[in-house]
Amino acid sequence: MEPRSSRRALRHSLTADVEVVDLKSGIQIRERTNDLNLYGCGMNAATPIPAGTKVMLKITQGAEKMTAFGKMIYGRTDIGVGIVFTTLEPED
């Protein structure tokens, strides 16, 4: 029997293009997601944005696109970054 995960939602492995914009500075980075769930996503990042930074995300995979606002939860060069969604439209 597997131990129960403490995560709020199941993570789905998803590789998609993501543009992240720091809402305060306007700095943009383009990376790739590595997972996604209802509450946020993880992505690879050569230069992680500091935790607490408010961001806008544009995630694209093929013809599918979504936009969300979020906050950086953690950022480490060895494991990537975690972003929690703060605003997400129902259709996204």
Q: Is 41 helix (H, G, I), strand (E, B) or coil?
A: strand
Q: Pick the closest to residue 75 from 57, 53, 39, 50 (CA basis).
A: 50
pLDDT higher than 60, residue 87? yes
Domain that holds residue 58: 12-88
Is 7 part of any domain?
no
Domain containing residue 63: CATH number: 2.40.10.220
Is 1 part of any domain?
no
Is 52 part of any domain?
yes
Considering the chain, what is the average pLDDT of its residues? 85
Is 42 part of any domain?
yes
CA 52 to chain centre: 13
pLDDT higher than 60, residue 62? yes
pLDDT digits (tens, 9 = 90+) for 2-36: 444 555 666 667 889 999 999 999 999 999 998 88
Q: How many folded domains does the chain comprise?
A: 1
